[in-house]
Amino acid sequence: MAMLKLFTVSLCLLLILPTVSIAAAEESSESWVPYLPSPNQVDLSIKVEGGCCFITVVLVFPDGGFRVSWSEAVLKNRAIFLGAEVERWTGPAIQVITLMKHTYEVEVQAGVYHIIFTVNGKPVKSSTFTVGETFPPPRGNLPFLCFLSALALTVSLLTRKMED
């Protein structure tokens, strides 16, 4: 009889406790809230190849409780607008410095450009860079021509060595 009561109480607890835990989690004050990083937490790096500009944005957070939604790059009158929506979890988070990185690709021509990076609609960091004149790559198959030049040089050196 005592064993039956113990079994019944255990079964009831197994059925009730998950419901209580779910209700407690739903009433929790933990949530995602907007977060504005300082300029020191944002790194902008720029790489130009031909007519393409690659802008890499790195956000540095003090813990793992952040999420980022990156926007598209917008080029308007030599100003490049980049942005992100950043939120911080108010509950527990892993205590490790966290980097989040995104690279934008923008077509550019020669001239001076200004980058404006915003978070949650507010400017956080900016930078200016200059794109010089770009020249088209040489016509023809350059790697093959380099190979032929190297081969000709090798043959010439071997021939001289054999003559000595």
Classify residue 29 by burial, with Cβ atoms within 10 Å: 0-12, 13-18, 19+. Answer: exposed
Contacts of 87 (CB under 8 A, 6+ apart): 32, 33, 34, 35, 66, 67, 68
Residue-level pLDDT at 28: 74
Query: Has residue 3 been placed in a domain?
Result: no
Cβ atoms of 50 and 134 within 8 Å: the answer is yes
Query: Has residue 151 been placed in a domain?
Result: no
d(CA 85, CA 87): 7
Residue-level pLDDT at 8: 54
Query: Has residue 139 been placed in a domain?
Result: no
Q: Which of 38, 54, 36 is nearest to 46 (CA)?
A: 54
Query: Has residue 123 been placed in a domain?
Result: yes
Residue-level pLDDT at 122: 98
- In this prediction, residues 59-75 reach a mean pLDDT of 98
**Taking the complete model, does pTM exceed 0.85, yes or no?**
no
Query: Has residue 53 been placed in a domain?
Result: yes
Residue 37 domain boundaries: 32-131
How many domains, the chain?
Answer: 1
Query: Has residue 79 been placed in a domain?
Result: yes
- In this prediction, residues 68-82 reach a mean pLDDT of 97
Cβ atoms of 60 and 38 within 8 Å: the answer is no
Query: Has residue 68 been placed in a domain?
Result: yes
> Which residue shows structure tokens 């507010």?
122
Query: Has residue 77 been placed in a domain?
Result: yes
- In this prediction, residues 123-140 reach a mean pLDDT of 79
d(CA 136, CA 108): 14
